[in-house]
Structure 1
Amino acid sequence: MNMHVEVAATVPGAAPVATDAPAGALDARAKRAADIAARHADAVDREGRFPAEAVAALKAERLLGIQVPASLGGEGASMSEIAELCAVLGRACSAAAMVFAMHHIKLASLVTHGGDSTWHRGLMQRIAGEQMLIASSTTEAGIGGDLRNSLCAVEAEGTGDGDTFRLTKEASVISYGAQADLILATARRHKEAATSDQVLVALLADQITLERTSTWDTLGMRGTCSDGFLLKAEGLPVVQVLQKPFAEIAAQSMLAASHLLWGSVWFGIASYAVDRARAFVQAEARKKPGQVPPGALRLAEAANELQAMRSTVVAGLARYEAAKGDPDALSAIGFSIMLNNVKTTVSAQAVDIVQRALSVVGLAGYKNGTPFSLGRQLRDVLSAPLMINNDRILSNTANLLLVQKGSGKLLSA
């Protein structure tokens, strides 16, 4: 598929670009990128470094712009298609898969809410044409992980059509911020706005300065390089600010994309662990024909839970695809509760599945460097309940349940 796209000149650095998709369907392209990611996954984890080789492969396979509409140079990939790629990458390298997921979570906000803005349409063309990597800046010193509140603000500089703004944000975490080509940051709409009156601002890498304030030295997911930064931007045109309230952006695109794509990454990690456990049990069975290995029962339990995990994610994706394009459906209380339940359920299942798989393979999984090693996968998946802490999400769900009316139906909620 060959496409030539003229990029909107209103976007800094814009130039005509050609977007030639590599040969093969999305899954074939993702598999090639995953093969490269897998080769470097242990080094990425051991050194706590950005998965540069994997991201370069994702760019070479032109997978960073697939969500952009075809009219803007992308491929119009659905959330379900992107989720499938997250799972493929999750089996290979957790950090690379999470970078890919977080990129597409932010791109979902642009695709869903930036179509009415000439500047943001041009930005989407650049993302598809140049395979720009998008990072997110929603956390902030003083508010922690509460993405629905901001202390920093978009501060106007000047008057009239040429208005510009400045922004200073103490971001406690910006995953792969130093490697991103573009950061989407939340901030208060103006200096006098309430902390909950937020907007989403697009910031190109060459428009900002990042001063590192903390480093990412963690148990797992080490390759996401989620350092803290003092982010500063000055003299930027106000057209880079998405005018729709961030509350609507979060409810109608970001919440669904986050929980569904994260869940798909965790499913990929868990499915890899079950495969290692299956291979171990099969090897044991070959050694003693006619005998059921001791770990077979634990393997059956893990496989059963993996199937339940898959069903939860697939059902969530189906609900999202059915509601897509309907703001009322996407903002409904029942829909938000469903997404919250997807996140809390699959994040806990993923940890349990990997631990079960480790119990099957035993010492061979506990040791590094064996064909059955699962230490990296276990450490990485332990982040799942902590990424937007499950207790915070359950508290939000509890508040929503106070005003929700139950349907009692099996096939709809």
Structure 2
Amino acid sequence: MNAATQELEAAGHVEGDGVIAPRSESELLEAARRVSAIAGKHAAAVDKDARFPAEAVAAMRTERLFSAMVPASFGGDGLSLTGVARLCETLAQGCASAAMIYAMHQSQVVCIVDHGANVPWQRAFLTRMVNEQLLLASATSEENIGGNMRTSACAVDLADDVFNIEKLAPTISYGTYADCILVTARRHPDAPPSDQVLIVAPRSTCTLESRGTWDTLGMRGTCSQGHRLTASGKAEQILPSPFSKIADESMLPVSHTLWSAVWIGIASDAVNRAHQFFRNQARGKPGALPPSAARVSQAVTLVRMMQARLRESLASVEAAQAERLARQALQTDDSDAPLTASIGIASDLNMLKLAISQSAVHVVQETLMICGMAGYKNDTPFSVGRHLRDLHSAPLMISNDRIELNTANLLLAQRSATGTL
């Protein structure tokens, strides 16, 4: 028994047969807080040097957070989406880049869990992912196509159950450091751009050639430079579901909710700094509220509204997932699912992304006004400049302009735009 297993056994997480038992949400949150503390110590250096948050990622591995969302049957913790969102919010209060990497990883994990669990190769990979705490990344963007992940120019070349693929991706977040990359491509060379598949490509089956650098305003630690990616492997590495189905049912719901949790976590940390600054000011002049009192109240109110909005979307996504599982148990075709319900969830998730990505930026701008020069400077306990720069990436991650147009199209198919309480 190695030292890590002994430590886990002492904490009560290893059963007699050596299998690690699933942890509760509260245990995972405690682990996330420990990781967040480590991430926070290195966040300024990660931002300054635009480097990968190696210390935070190593801590995630030690705490076995990468498998939090993997079902217990594969050795994971089987944590709900809401629980993972709370982990993301907690991690973001230490380091935004580390938290975003974690959120992106989980959005890839769920694709394999939801759409590959019946394939022997994918099942074996999930078990390996848990045992080795592998970090998953994605390559969905493509040169000449940009961020429209619903179309691909590259295509799978498949012969005798062996595939080859080459993709020019303008961004692959933390691709250099990932243990596996999930890659979108056209199903075959004659397929239209929208007929896509998703390939699970461990680093042993793919190579990356760096194209460009990552010197950005914020989220500098995500190291999202472009790459030329080539991969080959077995046909079983291609998930059997069409990518359109994977995106609608798994990737986008998890991405939009977990990204939102990260943005809320960043804003929360900024508000907590502003709140402490406000309290220090009030202590200096007993009996008189500082001029920033109204802004503090507004900032806290906005964060709580964002949290409530996210909880609502998380509940909708989890309800839809439960309904899909029930249909699968009854062997009911997915085409029997109500179209209006799926359109409603899609538009809700779009609106969630728009609302949180915009509101979080506004909240941190308010905290800057509360803290004044102490927030503007980079070397004080009340600095929020990094928070603001990181959050300016939020409207760009799947462009808000594109999402607004997509939402407008979805609203055309709905009888009611606002719904009821």
Which bin holds the TM-score, normalised by the shorter protein?
Answer: over 0.9
State the Cα distance separating 1:21 from its structure 2 match: 7.2
Give the 5 Å matches for 1:31-50.
31-50=33-52
1:111 to 110, 113, 120: 113
What is the rounded CA distance, in whole Å, between the counterparts of 2:214 and 2:15 in structure 1? 39
What is the rounded CA distance, in whole Å, between the counterparts of 2:78 and 2:125 in structure 1? 15
What is the rounded CA distance, in whole Å, between the counterparts of 1:34 and 1:185 in structure 2? 29
More helix by share: 2
Indicate the residue corresponding to 2:205 in structure 1.
207
Which secondary structure state, in structure 1, belongs to the residue aligned with residue 378 of structure 2? Answer: coil
Question: AA paired with 1:42?
Answer: A
Which secondary structure state, in structure 1, belongs to the residue aligned with residue 350 of structure 2? Answer: helix
Indicate the residue corresponding to 2:270 in structure 1.
273
State the Cα distance separating 1:187 from its structure 2 match: 0.5
Residues 23-73 of structure 1: CA deviation (Å, up to 9, x unaligned)? 970111101111100000000000000000000000000000111111111
RMSD of aligned C-alpha atoms? Answer: 1.7
Q: TM-score normalised to the size of structure 2?
A: 0.91
Indicate the residue corresponding to 1:222 in structure 2.
220
What is the rounded CA distance, in whole Å, between the counterparts of 1:395 and 1:25 in structure 2? 41
5+ residue gaps, structure 2, are 1-12, 325-336
What is the rounded CA distance, in whole Å, between the counterparts of 1:126 and 1:362 in structure 2? 49
Indicate the residue corresponding to 1:156 in structure 2.
158
Residue 384 of structure 2 is aligned to residue 374 of structure 1: yes
Query: Structure 1 194/326 Cα, relative in aligned 2: closer, same or farther at 3 Å?
Result: farther
Give the 5 Å matches for 1:248-287.
248-287=245-284
Indicate the residue corresponding to 1:344 in structure 2.
354
State the Cα distance separating 1:94 from its structure 2 match: 0.2
Indicate the residue corresponding to 1:10 in structure 2.
none
Indicate the residue corresponding to 1:301 in structure 2.
298
Give the 5 Å matches for 1:5-44.
19=20, 25-44=27-46
2:184 to 169, 186, 206: 186
Query: Structure 1 106/298 Cα, relative in aligned 2: closer, same or farther at 3 Å?
Result: same
State the Cα distance separating 1:303 from its structure 2 match: 1.1
After TM superposition, the structure 1 stretch with the greater mean CA deviation from structure 2, 248-257 or 322-331, is 322-331
Which secondary structure state, in structure 1, belongs to the residue aligned with residue 395 of structure 2? Answer: coil
Query: Does structure 2 conserve the Cα–Cα contact (< 8 Å) formed by 1:86 and 1:100?
Result: yes
After TM superposition, the structure 1 stretch with the greater mean CA deviation from structure 2, 33-42 or 18-27, is 18-27
State the Cα distance separating 1:393 from its structure 2 match: 0.2
Query: Structure 1 4/180 Cα, relative in aligned 2: closer, same or farther at 3 Å?
Result: farther
More strand by share: 1
What is the rounded CA distance, in whole Å, between the counterparts of 2:292 and 2:120 in structure 1? 59
Residue 398 of structure 2 is aligned to residue 388 of structure 1: yes
State the Cα distance separating 1:326 from its structure 2 match: 3.0
Query: Does structure 2 conserve the Cα–Cα contact (< 8 Å) formed by 1:19 and 1:129?
Result: no
State the Cα distance separating 1:321 from its structure 2 match: 1.3
Query: Does structure 1 conserve the Cα–Cα contact (< 8 Å) formed by 2:21 and 2:77?
Result: no
Number of aligned residues: 395
Q: TM-score normalised to the size of structure 1?
A: 0.93
Which secondary structure state, in structure 1, belongs to the residue aligned with residue 165 of structure 2? Answer: strand
Query: Does structure 1 conserve the Cα–Cα contact (< 8 Å) formed by 2:21 and 2:75?
Result: no
What is the rounded CA distance, in whole Å, between the counterparts of 2:231 and 2:287 in structure 1? 69
Query: Structure 1 408/187 Cα, relative in aligned 2: closer, same or farther at 3 Å?
Result: closer
What is the rounded CA distance, in whole Å, between the counterparts of 1:265 and 1:309 in structure 2? 12
State the Cα distance separating 1:319 from its structure 2 match: 0.9
Query: Does structure 2 conserve the Cα–Cα contact (< 8 Å) formed by 1:323 and 1:329?
Result: no
Query: Does structure 2 conserve the Cα–Cα contact (< 8 Å) formed by 1:260 and 1:317?
Result: yes
State the Cα distance separating 1:156 from its structure 2 match: 1.4
